[in-house]
Amino acid sequence: MSNTHLTLTDFFALHDKLAANELILDVRRPEEFAEAHVPHALNIPLDVLGQRSEELKKFSTIYIHCKRGGRAKSAFETLNQLGFTNLVCVHDAGMDLWIENGYPIAK
């Protein structure tokens, strides 16, 4: 799979059908993640992503998202530069719109 982008609507349609080796990566700050996050997401804040990228090598696909899309794009670029080719960036929105749409959250 090559790196790509996905809309929030498309991400919602597949978020609960992911295989065990696929990951939802939330790159927001820990306190934001604690307030609400997509069920089964892993939180690795953008500012430590480079240091923790080894943890991500076991996943076949990584769906990256954040609050509104900006940090997801930055994380996508960071991981892309580190050689990851299995990235999907939720680029047009993030947790704010996820909650507004009434999609399921975990705390």
What does the DSSP assignment read for 14-62? HTTS--TTEEEEE-S-HHHHHH-B-TT-EE--GGGTTTTGGGGTT-SEE
Q: Under 8 Å CB-to-CB from 103, ≥6 apart: which residues?
A: 12, 38
pLDDT at 19: 95
Considering the entire predicted model, what is its pTM? Answer: 0.95
Q: Residue 106 falls within a domain, yes or no?
A: no
Contact between 85 and 18 under an 8 Å Cβ cutoff? The reply is no
What is the domain count for the chain?
1
> Residue 38: which CATH number?
3.40.250.10
In a domain, 56, yes or no: yes
- pLDDT truncated to tens, each residue of the chain (107 aa)? 567 989 999 999 999 999 999 999 999 999 999 999 999 999 999 999 999 999 999 999 999 999 999 999 999 999 999 999 999 999 888 999 999 999 999 99
Query: Does residue 107 lie within any of the structural domains?
Result: no
**CA–CA distance, 6 with 24 (Å, rounded to integer):** 13
Residue 29's identity, in one-letter code, is R
- Check residue 65 and give its pLDDT: 95
Q: State the pLDDT at residue 3.
A: 72
